A and B are shown apart, each in its own frame.
Chain A
Amino acid sequence: MPNRDTRAGPTADAGTRLSVLIIDDEAKIRAAVRDALLSDDVEMIDAESGATGLARAASRRPDLVLVDLGLPDMEGLDVVRALRRWSTAPIIVLTARHAEDEKVALLDAGADDYVTKPFSLAELRARVRAQLRRARMPRVPGGDAPVRVGGGDLEIDLARRAVTRRPTGEVIHLTPTEWSLLEVLVRHADRPVTHRQLYHAVWGNTFGDTAHYLRVYVAHLRRKLERDPYQPLFILTEPGVGYRLTLDAGTVERDGA
């Protein structure tokens, strides 16, 4: 693989430690998250308010930012927008249930993912890893190397516009619309993409009467790619938000190591 040496998981590059900034006003949550993420490769930066968080982000240039939505001094959305003006570091938002509209707004504003409170540390760590891995990819996923999904079952090669089932090598034919939908999902792999973002990227025009096309094309795509549309393995539904394509972390890491 051409990107073998740069794209390992966060455990690879021994020379530089990755830094994660957590902005949360609850000291205990900061401490628990710090303990969970801190390792030989990851250092943690704390901030107890939106303003301090933005200042630390500017001075320390973290590789990833965790933002709590219940900050006393700023709206989470404003923190995300402010960060996005100059930073491309992945942003994961710690949000509450019943806040789908808020999640959509955050993703549209540039957040990369969200974790719903109360979250488990394992879940948070998985999301953080996925985002760090994404951020360290030299190009967008599938740009110059095929990506594997569905437990290594499928190989998607955006450059050649081909989806092949492994190990048989059977080529799966997709219509142009299905292709563009899959392409958007792969380019945003491992992060939720909102309905609006997907619709806009595939159909271009505004989100209107034909918004249900998206549901229909996702269904078509799943019928062609997933083994069981009722139990999708990689084209996952983000309830009330959109869809998420998950890459096989295992395969990619194994390939990179």
Chain B
Amino acid sequence: MVPNALGRPRLRAWVIAALALAVSTAGMVAVRSSLDKAHVALVFLLVVLGGSAFGGRVVGLVLAIGAFLLFDYLFLPPYGTVIVTNPLDWLVLVAFLLTSVVATQLLSRAQERAEVARRHAAEVERLAALGAEALNAARADEALRAIAEVIQSALALGCCEIYLRRGSAEDSSSPERVALERVAHAGDGCAEAAPEDDVSLAAWVGAHGLPAMVRVDGLTHVAPAQAVAQSVPASGAFWLVGGGVRTLLLPLRVRERTVGVLRAAGAPAIALRADQRQFLDALAYYAALGVERLRLTDEAAHAEALREADRLKNALLAAVSHDLRTPLTTIKALAGAIEEEGAHAGDARATSIEEEADRLGRMVGDLLDLSRLMGGALVLTPEVNAAEDLIGAVRQRVAGVLRGREIRVRDGSHAGAPPPLLLGRFDFVHALRALGNLVENALKYGAPGTPVDLDVARDGPMLVFSVADRGPGVPEAEQERIFEPFYRPPGVPADIGGSGLGLTIARGLAEAQGGDVRYESRPGGGSIFSLRLPAVDLVADNREEGSAR
């Protein structure tokens, strides 16, 4: 059995020590005549050391004095008196006392050291276990609750709370913008809401990453400025601000970032010894790790939810694009077949069916394009392309909806001269769709019989395709609204347009590749839509071409 630390030896230790002294004394008195003083001193020394080892320092010292007195009284002549006649016997007696006391002291000091080391080891073990729990617990919030409970019980606090700091990393150092969320608590004191001082100070701690405290008298203290430089959570001068501390607020920091706040409230006041401060600092770090883990888990769950939504959206898009297209293909093919069979009355109706199927197909395509644009799912392959390629492809694309209208292309070159070779870096398919939408728009809204003018020119770093019509134009107040999804000019019948997404998509596709679409009124009536795309200069022209012409 080990004496309980530095505390008092138990009664049993005293009884056993007394008995050992009594028995050894009685035994030696019985054979007193044949005993030498050295034997007595040795036996008593053994009893003292045994008692000291068994019962601790106090037992050892009391035994030493008791043995000293018994030695003098019973074993040094004249027996039965405290008087010692032989001066040499005094020397023996004093030497015995000194030896016993010193030996007792040495023995207990060694024992105390061993005890401190053992307690430290136990502490370290407990902290390591907590740390492991904070990092490995199935749920971060359970680990945090365990940490809060350990802090609360070890420091006899009224309440220990751990807050998670919400919001983006370190962008705001203003306490008003710090949102703290309580993620763990322990102690009866937590039943009541924290005082207002504590709440505002906690926000300050969360914002600045420095410790703070509230005294019993209501005064608040914050950490001195040098603690900022040291970025030590809680230490030094701050702790010396003195007793009567009601609440301690410690920032929970991980990798230079404040992830949360620990609030320790006394019942009613907090008094910490040095080792308890170290303990609190260490546990605050584990709490910080736990809070960080909670935050990361939340983030991961959020990201997972986003990914899931994304996956669902893409699956939906794919399903819509394939599953809607299949019946459309069938409708169109069958309508085409009826039309071709030339059933006299069926002709016009079959044509309408085919046209409407086309329109529906375009709308589905527009909706898909828009959702791709909005969802950032647009895949761009920018390449060097020639402006004339794009214009040629646009004309091919709108050939079916021209209805006798003309598209006049102008590139600024003089009649008869070869057109300039204008190159740009853009995704051809998306650019075709953007410019095609603008041309279709001009064909749709331009007055019947009027041509659509398509001008192409280089403007600094951009290639500009301007599509001009002689339509009604757009009133100034509406000029930005026309790019909004589902915008329809007032007074235009629903069946003239498509989905109302053409301009939105054109602008979105242009912007996605570093260009844009602009509107301006056309002098003399009508509209001009300009598609601007990044231009490139021909880097390596061909050698053979110059001489060949």
* A residues lining the B interface (CB < 8 Å): 26, 28-29, 32-33, 35-36, 70, 96-98, 100, 117-122, 173-178, 210-213, 215-220, 222-223, 228-232, 236-237, 239-240
Q: Contact partner of A230 among B325, B368, B395, CB < 8 A? A: B395
Interface contact B329-A117, CB-CB below 8 Å: yes
Interface contact A229-B336, CB-CB below 8 Å: no
Number of CB contacts from chain A to chain B under 8 A: 127
Shortest CB distance A48–B (Å): 14
A-B pairs with lowest CB-CB distance, top 4 = A212-B384, A32-B333, A240-B429, A118-B329
Which B499-549 residues have C-beta < 8 A from chain A? 536, 538, 540-542, 544-545, 548
> Hey, which chain A residues are within 8 Å of B340, CB to CB?
36, 121-122
Interface contact A211-B386, CB-CB below 8 Å: no
CA distance A213 to B544 in the complex (A): 13
> Hey, which chain B residues are within 8 Å of A176, CB to CB?
544
Chain A residue nearest to B544 (CB atoms) is: A175
8 more CB-based (< 8 A) A-B contacts, given A36-B333, A215-B389, A218-B389: A33-B333, A35-B337, A120-B332, A176-B544, A213-B540, A215-B385, A215-B386, A236-B396
Interface contact A26-B326, CB-CB below 8 Å: yes
Interface size class of B (residues with CB under 8 A): 35 or more
Q: Contact partner of A222 among B321, B333, B388, B545, CB < 8 A? A: B388
CA distance A178 to B336 in the complex (A): 41
CA distance A119 to B333 in the complex (A): 7
Please judge, given known A-B contacts A32-B333, A230-B419, whether A237 and B361 are in contact too, CB under 8 Å: no
Report 5 cross-chain contacts, Cβ distance below 8 Å, ordered by A residue. A117-B326, A212-B384, A213-B540, A220-B545, A240-B381
Q: Contact partner of A219 among B328, B329, B386, CB < 8 A? A: B386
> Hey, which chain A residues are within 8 Å of B423, CB to CB?
212, 215-216
CA distance A179 to B357 in the complex (A): 43
- CB of B421 closer than 8 Å to a CB of A: yes
CA distance A121 to B333 in the complex (A): 6
Interface contact A223-B419, CB-CB below 8 Å: yes
Q: Contact partner of A28 among B321, B334, B418, CB < 8 A? A: B334
Chain B residue nearest to A94 (CB atoms) is: B329
Please judge, given known A-B contacts A177-B544, A212-B423, A219-B388, whether A29 and B326 are in contact too, CB under 8 Å: yes
CA distance A223 to B541 in the complex (A): 16
Interface contact B421-A118, CB-CB below 8 Å: no
Please judge, given known A-B contacts A121-B337, A122-B336, A216-B421, whether A232 and B329 are in contact too, CB under 8 Å: no
Please judge, given known A-B contacts A32-B330, A32-B337, whether A211 and B392 are in contact too, CB under 8 Å: no
Interface contact A231-B395, CB-CB below 8 Å: yes
